[in-house]
Structure 1
Amino acid sequence: MSLWQEYQCASMALNEGNYDNDHKVNLVAAKWSDDANDPGKDVDTAREEVRLSTGGQMPNVLMLSHAALLAVKNNANVLEVFKRQNAGSTPSDDYIKNYFQVERLVIGTAAYKNNQDALIPIWGNDAWLGYVAKPKGKGGDISDKVEPSFAYRYHIRKHPFIRKPYEVPNRTATAYQRRDDYRHIISWPGAGYLLQNVV
């Protein structure tokens, strides 16, 4: 996935306007970086809302911004369970995935430069939990549209494709035009839950 595509996905998933009040929470006053707050309980609440909204489908993907991941790994409530299970010296990403009971843990590490040349994390200080239909079909890029998946990416077949290269005048370079037609669509908002400002 290109940086631009990831930015588009993040902008869609982290837009609070795409969720009703039962599928989002702002934790600005209850950040996971504060040991008084329990990430596990917040994610349990999110999991239950998704389950009820999808007819019993359990969330299978948890997205944590890199800042959120660090907050989780250093949260006293998470570390207490970790130490009790003698799972190692420090919580691994696999441990965090199992702790939150998801099939896939996605860590948002990408950043972009704004007009002031400052690096801005694409995934901010947020987390997202939801159900995403697994790819099926030839090439693993076709999902069952009947499933209550939070979102899909509709992609024109055989894209991206590269046009015939051409020489750039006055430069020792060859240019390649690339075309990629796709669109990200939220198909079932109730299959996702946004946790804002967890750090």
Structure 2
Amino acid sequence: MDPRIPSKWEEITAADPTHSPRYIERFRRLAARGADIVGEARLVDAMLPRGSRVLDAGCGPGRVGGYLHTAGHTVVGVDVDPVLIAAATADHPGPTWLVGDLAELDLPGEFDIVVCAGNVLTFVAPPTRTAVLARFAGHLAPGGRAVIGFGAGRDYLFDDFLADAAASGLSPDLLLSTWDLRPFGPDSDFLVAVLSRANT
């Protein structure tokens, strides 16, 4: 068996152990000031009937999954960083929060939506990107969708992502340039992709 490839996030946190605590506190401060930190979650919520099963892939400290749980969904959040999972557990009780590598996802049941927000896909190890997307596809219920958002300039070209998604069995239903539904175009510097399994 090949050794596991560490993610870019793990490399960052290994080099700077204060990185994750600072990231957590940043979002806690934003929330305390009343900043809107759940725009991604509102979009996902609008796509789902109440009581849907949601996989928050790369959940970080739980802002997206926590909102979706409060909105009435069953949420499982997975992140490779145990410090972020501890914060999610403390700040957002209710969902199931798990430490895990997205390239090795193997969860029971199927999900109506897999949401991967916050540039998460650009922090996985580049050789595992297709494996991560294939795991997303494999966890979708019939008719389920994956919603993935990340910005340009992060060493993952949008065209390469779409090719990787196709190779992983995911087909785009809708491409947006923001989480507030602006259309995607050739000059967009952000991509929100809504994808479904190519065979459904």
Give the TM-score range, shorter chain.
under 0.3
Which is helix-richer, 1 or 2? Answer: 2
- TM-score where L is the length of structure 2: 0.26
- TM-score where L is the length of structure 1: 0.26
- Rg larger in 1 or in 2? 1
